[in-house]
Structure formats: C-alpha cells, structure tokens
Amino acid sequence: MGAIVIAEDDPDIRAMITQKLSRAGHQVTAAEDGAAAIVAVKRSVPDVVVLDMQMPGLSGLDVVRLIRADPATARVPVIMVTSHSQPQYIGESFNSGADDFLAKPFSPRELAARIEHLMNGSPDVDDDQLIGAPAPGSVPTPAPMPVPVPGVPPADRATPAPTADRTVPAPVAETVAAALVATEEAEAKVGRRRFFRLLTSDV
C-alpha cells in the first residue's frame, strides 16, 4: 500500500481516519494542522496527501499551493476534504491544485477508494501536452454559423441587450449573510456528530 499524509485539526476524526487507513495497510502520517502537514510532506514525499480545507494557520488551500510550488512535491496527488459541498468550495479546491474533492461526512471506504484510484492513476503527462488537447474520443465542435436576419445589420445583432440593475440593498445582503453563517455553524455541529458515527460504524 502507500504512504499517506493526513492533515485534520479535529483530533477525534484525525485519529479515526488514521486508524482505518492503517488497518487497510497504508503507512499514515497524521498532522494536526497545515504547517505540520507541510513538514511531513517535505520530510518524506508521500503517495497521497489528504487535507482538511479549513484548519488553523495554514488552510488546506494554502498547503496544496505550497505543495504544487515545490518541484519535489508538485505531482503528489492531493484530496481536499471539507464539510462544505457548495460549488464555490469545490472550485477553490481544484483551482488551488487539488486532484480530488470529498465532502464530509464520508465513509472511510470511500476515502480509501479515492486514495487507491489516485495511487493507480494514469501515467504522468507533460503540462504542454494537455494545453488545447481534446478529450479522448471527442469530436471537434464546429463554430456556429451566423444566421442572417432580414433588415437587421450584423453589427446591431451583435449588440447585447441592456440588463436590469439587480443590486441587492446592503441591509438585505447583511441579513442574508448573517443567516448563512448561522446555518453553516449549525450544520457543522450536526455534521461532525454524524461524521464521527459514520467513521466508527464503517468496517
């Protein structure tokens, strides 16, 4: 099996994930925050890194950027995990350099499967080969042809229609933001309990 570095600031969840992956045959190095994760990765380059997105100090996003910036670790696969599954968090993960994204709560079996997939992934391809390369088996899509409209010059057809002002008043925006924060905090408390039950029940 492989060498795995896990960064998770919750000690109970960190210990449970470490135990499950160790039983599966992996050599696991557990880090309590992002700084400890960077030290572990640089000390001995692992096969896969698993990062919690939100940690004190260096976040998971900070850590994956540092991993990608170092030529010695730039190609190490990284899985980002978080209790937030909204599109913006997924986008931030991949934009920062993560190879996979896993939303909490998740099963240890699912995490182990993702790790195995990354360890046994396709061979490395130079970045220059990926730029502009079509997907395997894809058919190039021809550019759409302009449709002539009688009596309307082409320049006028290209002019977009004006859009209505949809600015949200500041008091309304502040109220919505406060409600979202309160909702996320409540979901985080419930999610942690559910996640820990899932970890302890999964064989």
What residues does each domain of the chain span?
Answer: 3-122
Residue 196: burial class (beta carbons within 10 Å; 0-12, 13-18, 19+): middle
> pLDDT value at position 76?
96
> pLDDT value at position 28?
95
Strand 100-103: give its sheet, edge to edge. Answer: 27-31, 3-7, 48-52, 78-82, 100-103
> pLDDT value at position 124?
46
Tokens 């079509």 belong to 134
CB-based contacts of 124-131 (< 8 A; 24+ apart in sequence): 124/75
> pLDDT value at position 107?
84
Using DSSP's 3-state secondary structure scheme, residue 24 falls into: coil
Q: Which residues pair with 4 in a beta bridge?
A: 28, 48
> pLDDT value at position 108?
83
The b/e string for 106-134 (b: 16+ C-beta within 10 A; e otherwise) is bebeebbebbeebeeeeeeeeeeeeeeee
| CATH architecture classification, 3-122 | 3-Layer(aba) Sandwich (3.40)
> pLDDT value at position 202?
54
pTM to 2 decimals?
0.62
Q: Which residues pair with 49 in a beta bridge?
A: 5, 78
Nearest partner of 33 among 70, 61, 65, 59, judged by Cα? 59
> pLDDT, tens digit, for every residue of 159-202?
555 555 555 566 655 665 555 555 555 555 545 555 445 555 55
Nearest partner of 22 among 40, 41, 3, 39, judged by Cα? 3
CA distance 197 to 191: 10
Q: Which residues of the chain have pLDDT under 70?
A: 122-203
> pLDDT value at position 126?
44
> pLDDT value at position 151?
60
The b/e string for 10-42 (b: 16+ C-beta within 10 A; e otherwise) is beebbebbbebbeebebebbbbbbbbbbbebbe
